[in-house]
Structure 1
Amino acid sequence: MMRRAGFRRDIQGLRAIAVLAVVTQHAGATWAPGGFIGVDVFFVVSGFLITGLLVRELAETGRIDLPAFTARRARRILPAALVVVVLTVVGAYGIVSPLRRETLLADAVASALFVPNYAFAVRDADYFGDETPSLFQHYWSLGVEEQWYLVCPALLLAAWAVGRRLGGRRGARGAVAVALGIVLAGSLAAVVALTPVSQPWAFFALWTRMWEFAVGALIALVPAAAVARIPGLVRAALGWAGLAGILAAIALIGESSAFPGVLVLLPVLSTGAVILAGIGQDAPPRGSAGAVIGNRPFVFVGEISFSLYLVHWPLIVAGALLAPGLPWLPAALGVASIPVAWALFRLVEQPTRRARVLVDARPRRTLLAAAGATAAVALAAGTALAVAPEPALATQTRVAHAEPAVPPEVTPVVPANLEPGLADAPDDESEVYDDGCNLGYQEERPRPCSFGEGDERMVLWGDSHAAHWVPGVLRAAEERGMALTTHTKSRCSSALARHVLDGSAFGACDRWRSTVLDELREDPPEVLVLANYADEEVPDGIDAEQAWRDGLREVVDALPETRVLLLADTPDLGTSPLDCLAMNLEHAAVCAVPESEAVRGAGRDAVREVARETRAEEIDLLPYFCAPIDGAPSEEPSCAPILGGLLVYRDSHHLTATFAEAMGGALAEAIDSAVDGRG
């Protein structure tokens, strides 16, 4: 017999862990880099609870009352979700930059219609790396869940009907299990295959997440009597192992992991273990994992978990927009979101779920009201999007474009002929991205790009900061009559220092660098340019500057026939200047960052030391970027985002391809001096 539904404190505890993990990670806690796996915990719990209800209904009545089921889902989800959509748009429209208002409204429409996951996937949004994330980014999981519950009842009905015809009630339950198993296997295969190819689609799509609901659903099919036959110690061990697995996923999985992929198995199966261990128990036994997470504070957080999930993200993002640069603010807003969530729970979520007028209403009336509310919110946001005027993203002032110079020619306004324009800047990347030559985090097989022809060859090797220099280095190579080959991989410097991603060994980086170095040894270029982000992460407990020095020396020593040039890193503004510029068109200087803040990183100091101690030459173009600026926040030299009418940065620390190409002349002079100066 299928177990009867009952209140399980351990499941409320799982909800609490899930939402607290998400909030903690979003608040910037470095000790919980994998907090986003809380969503996977939610998916398994949802699959267990909702599928259990549907299968019990099938067993008792032979049918699923789809209008009643959908009406219950609408009362549970829609009111709080739509209220937060409205409040977010109203509260944020005036504080987001003009660059982001169209996206804000478009995402509001998608969220009201519960399809934001596809909106994010289509525009190739990076859940982990977007510097200016959507205020509705967290709604992706609501979209996935509601899409699943459009599919799930039909799947269960079809499987039940086929199984009932072939084998009676037992056959029906078996057919449901088989159908869910097929969904599980197919969806899991899809997410594993898609993650290295298209991480956004693997992360956001329904078909790569269905298996997580199926895991919970299959556990719901396990009879309580069968679980009761498992020895108590084994069940306790299963629960503790599951809880440990969830906590390990939170601590060890990170934004640069190949996620979801196979890594998502850890939080999903661990959640399933905790749920399975508690089946059939009126109360978790003392000392069990269920008892620990079923305490009163966890149950309270579990009760408000949906409201907390809804409100925490807009609060954190809005705080960052209003007061950027305050490191403590995200954590403070994460804590503040708890009473806000409680208010939403008490004033909106709970009343609309339990109000007799809604509970007793015919499902069709509830569905009509839900459809009307959804349409009203979506239409309001859509209308605002349609009639909103084009934002002014530049002044009327035109300036003469100038080659980068020393001292830099600071442009005090956002000119009408800015190149590239603010809206186009994020896509103004070097050709190695379009050509597929820049490797992602988990790729390790070299994919060099080759440009031009010449009797001599220059090689550019490094991470994404080498990639952003490609247009300038290519211009310099062409002026010297040299062919250019590039080897670039994100977050992986060409200094043979140990790097980590989210505290874990970066094996793909090590293997890629080893292969590239072997290729360079076999066919040494005349000139090798090493360019890297100076703040790449090294393991805790290691002297970062020493690691960089040793890694750079190793490359220099490995290529005795090659002239090695060490390109000092460009300034890092800390945050993208695009939004600041869009909100300060007449006063672009306020978006400049003091040189003392922008010029940092152990790799920069190491470049200078290695150039001093070896035959390598340093190229430092900092004087082209930073100088005293009238109207800047600091009186000290500052690094401006617009120089000579050209936009310098496309995000916080990557150059636009336009500016990098303009720097080609300065690079050519520096390379000529470095290569020819020592003979």
Structure 2
Amino acid sequence: MRSAGSFRHDINGLRAWAVVAVVLYHFGISGFSGGFVGVDVFFVISGYLMTGIILGAIAAPSGFSFWNFYLARARRILPALLVLCAVLLALGWFFLLPSDYQRLGKHVWGSVLFTSNRMFMKEAGYFDVASHDKWLLHTWSLSVEWQFYLLFPLVLVAAWRWLGGRRWMLLLLGALALASLAYCVALAARNPSQAFYFFPTRAWELLAGGIVFLIQARWQPGALRAIWIERAGMALIIGSLLLITPDMAWPGLLSLIPVSGAALVLLARRDDAWLTANGAAQWLGTRSYSIYLWHWPVVVSLAYLELAGQPQAIAVGLLVTLILGHLSYHWVEQPSGRRLGMLRPVTATAVVVVAMMTVMGPAKVVRKADFEHRLPEAVQRVDEERDNRNPRLDECDAKTECQYGGPNTRAIVLGDSHAQATVNAIVASLSSADDGVLFIGTSGCPIIFGAQLDTPKQDICQKILGRIRERQASLLPGTPVIVINRASYYLFGGLRGEADETPNKPKLYFTEPADKPSEALLAQYRQHYVATACELAANHPLYLVRPTPEMGVRVPEAMGRAMLLKRERKLSVSREAYRQRNAFVSQVQDAAHQQCGAHVLDPAPYLCDDQQCAASRHGRPMYYDDDHLSEFGNRLLVPMFQPIFVEQVLGQIRTGSPHKHEQSAL
């Protein structure tokens, strides 16, 4: 059996398959829907190699040195990573919007400290569109590996000493791997994003490589059997990257397929297998780490330049990835590894720490500083609109009931985040500073009695709807109720290309969850919506607001990036597309008007012209993201709401004084 340090063409070729799978998947090449399994293959390889290195050092006369082990890993991983981070910080100075640049600084910090997996776990799911403009998203896997490097030597050294060498090592790693896999399956069922990024749910894949190494120490297949084992392994890997899709539960039991495939290829130990030993695979394998590092920023660059999906741009991106990977391998990986290897451990450690601080220091500054004069003032103003939203949004979303404006409640606003994005326009419609409105609701919760949500908001939404229904008859009777929802979204999902949304996938149901808006679901929606409106209208003047036009892209970011790239970008949605998107909801609202006397308020005349619903006015974004009006944009609706209160004043002259709301939290 060869030493752990001897070159293995099968491992190098397996690296090539892993990196090609990941790269082709991220570039959106058709047919590689499961290319993300390449990371799972990398994990198995890493676990295999680390087990050999650690056990080999433990058994050697000089013994295992934690310092030398961690320094060797740092020499291998950090130089190319630090160069990548430095390049991104430098380019970001010229081409990234302020909030994007600050986020890059945060991600550089987490990537260099190998905590980025936990950072991204808190931000968005790996497969969510919102994650695809994060320049260092791919470093999550490096963080998982580094966390494995920190803990695994401790486990093996302790087991060697306490269990008497390798005797019980295989049983120990098997038990740990099974525990990690069980935790992975359980966590993926309730929180797939956390399971994807979390080290304890990924540890079993690395441990699988260690198990293969220990098995090989006791048994190796004959030449003919090795051929079939290797072929079976490659079939599992190729089948995974061709047939698995992001829509499937991942990670989980399906992860066993590529992990088992990688394990079988390693177990076969065939250095002359055509699929892994050919020249192309060897060239790619030796450069796999640098190719992996550089490919994702190239992918994000295409999206940033709005070239993603264009065949010629993708071809250029792939070529650039190979060139950058090759240059990084020859100019960074190889020379840094050699030179650091020639230094004494203390000196090499000092150099590594200084290099880390050289990158982390500026990243820390970028993360906190605004750099007000870094970009043109017009770009700064556009980007600032991202934060021009309801200042009490987070507070009132959590409380689910808030009084806006003065204590005299002139209206009750029921709704979701679109209501919260509009509520201050209603306050601005009032004539006195003592007047206010009561908001009840939370984001992602439509005001339809009997609706169930196929989202994490189900429980809180049911509580809100139940209490509204219970209280509405006695809650300030006669006070106008204004209902504002992103109504079409709950039936027809998000717009195509919208971050983290599946078009035509309903968010609500009444009997059982639906994959598409069937005729039965639409009929139930109509019935429950009209019934809800009639129930509310029995005790209050009821106003139903038609949906706000949705842009499908985050407006301030898209406008700011276009300005940075010297492009003309006028964002809008056609009036006809807006009409088609909301035709069914408009019909239902009209039915509520006919049956219950509900008033329908249409924002389109205030936000659109005859042809287009624009995303900006006078060069200023009207939205703080892709579908929520900013505090600037919602003020355009003040004339729409003012007549409500003119009529209310006339009614109060006849019947009495306005209500003063006594706060009672839902």
Pick one of 369, 372, 383 that aligns with 2:351. Answer: 369
Instruction: Indicate how the Cα distance of structure 1 residues 328 and 671 shifts in structure 2: closer, same or farther if over 3 A, else same.
Output: farther
Amino acid paired to 2:172: V
Pick one of 389, 393, 398 that aligns with 1:435. Answer: 398
Alpha-carbon offset, residue 495 of structure 1 = 13
Amino acid paired to 2:154: A
Instruction: Indicate how the Cα distance of structure 1 residues 358 and 669 shifts in structure 2: closer, same or farther if over 3 A, else same.
Output: same
Stretch of structure 1 that moved more, 526-535 or 210-219? 526-535
> TM-score by structure 2 length?
0.69
Instruction: Indicate how the Cα distance of structure 1 residues 434 and 613 shifts in structure 2: closer, same or farther if over 3 A, else same.
Output: closer
Q: For 2:548, what is the secondary structure of its paired residue?
A: coil
The yes-or-no answer on 1:624 pairing with 2:617 is no
2:75 and 2:371 map into 1 onto residues whose CA distance is 36
Structure having the higher Rg: 2
Q: For 1:63, what is the secondary structure of its paired residue?
A: coil
The yes-or-no answer on 1:531 pairing with 2:526 is no
Any unmatched runs of 5+ in structure 1?
258-262, 396-412, 438-448, 499-505, 629-635, 674-679
Pick one of 489, 500, 525 that aligns with 2:444. Answer: 489
The yes-or-no answer on 1:278 pairing with 2:265 is yes
Stretch of structure 1 that moved more, 208-217 or 141-150? 208-217
Pick one of 182, 206, 215 that aligns with 1:213. Answer: 206
2:285 and 2:197 map into 1 onto residues whose CA distance is 24
Q: Is the 8 A contact 2:34 2:241 kept in 1?
A: no
Alpha-carbon offset, residue 248 of structure 1 = 4.2
1:518 and 1:583 map into 2 onto residues whose CA distance is 41
Residues 414-429 of structure 1: pairs in structure 2 closer than 5 A: 421-422=384-385, 424-425=387-388
Q: For 2:94, what is the secondary structure of its paired residue?
A: coil
Alpha-carbon offset, residue 509 of structure 1 = 8.6
Amino acid paired to 1:303: T
Q: Is the 8 A contact 1:593 1:639 kept in 2?
A: yes
Instruction: Indicate how the Cα distance of structure 1 residues 478 and 235 shifts in structure 2: closer, same or farther if over 3 A, else same.
Output: farther
Q: CA deviation digits over 1:168-208, x for unaligned, max 9?
A: 5424x35xx526744763696389559957x7766555455
Stretch of structure 1 that moved more, 424-433 or 521-530? 521-530
Amino acid paired to 1:313: W
Any unmatched runs of 5+ in structure 2?
474-480, 495-502, 507-514, 648-666
The yes-or-no answer on 1:311 pairing with 2:275 is no
Alpha-carbon offset, residue 494 of structure 1 = 7.5
Aligned twin of 1:553: 526
The yes-or-no answer on 1:573 pairing with 2:551 is yes
Q: Is the 8 A contact 1:304 1:342 kept in 2?
A: yes
Amino acid paired to 2:629: L
Aligned twin of 2:78: 78
Aligned twin of 1:244: 239
Q: For 1:223, what is the secondary structure of its paired residue?
A: helix
Sequence identity, in percent? 23
Alpha-carbon offset, residue 55 of structure 1 = 2.1
Q: Is the 8 A contact 1:249 1:266 kept in 2?
A: no
Q: For 1:221, what is the secondary structure of its paired residue?
A: helix
Q: Is the 8 A contact 2:545 2:602 kept in 1?
A: yes
Q: CA deviation digits over 1:600-647, x for unaligned, max 9?
A: 48532333455567758764312222349xxxxxxx64524468x996
Stretch of structure 1 that moved more, 268-277 or 239-248? 239-248
Q: CA deviation digits over 1:121-144, x for unaligned, max 9?
A: 67x466535378332232233233
Alpha-carbon offset, residue 435 of structure 1 = 0.8
1:332 and 1:618 map into 2 onto residues whose CA distance is 51
1:487 and 1:665 map into 2 onto residues whose CA distance is 25
Q: Is the 8 A contact 2:125 2:131 kept in 1?
A: no
> TM-score by structure 1 length?
0.68
Q: CA deviation digits over 1:188-238, x for unaligned, max 9?
A: 6389559957x7766555455444423333333223654649978788656
Residues 292-441 of structure 1: pairs in structure 2 closer than 5 A: 297-321=280-304, 323-324=305-306, 327-328=309-310, 331-332=314-315, 334-349=317-332, 351-352=334-335, 355=338, 359=341, 361-379=343-361, 381-382=363-364, 389-391=371-373, 421-422=384-385, 424-425=387-388, 430-431=393-394, 434-435=397-398
What CA RMSD, in Å, does the superposition of the two structures yield over aligned residues?
5.7
Stretch of structure 1 that moved more, 200-209 or 330-339? 200-209
1:478 and 1:284 map into 2 onto residues whose CA distance is 82
2:390 and 2:412 map into 1 onto residues whose CA distance is 26
Q: For 1:572, what is the secondary structure of its paired residue?
A: coil
Q: For 2:268, what is the secondary structure of its paired residue?
A: coil
The yes-or-no answer on 1:596 pairing with 2:574 is yes
Q: Is the 8 A contact 1:22 1:37 kept in 2?
A: yes
1:224 and 1:493 map into 2 onto residues whose CA distance is 64
Aligned twin of 1:50: 50
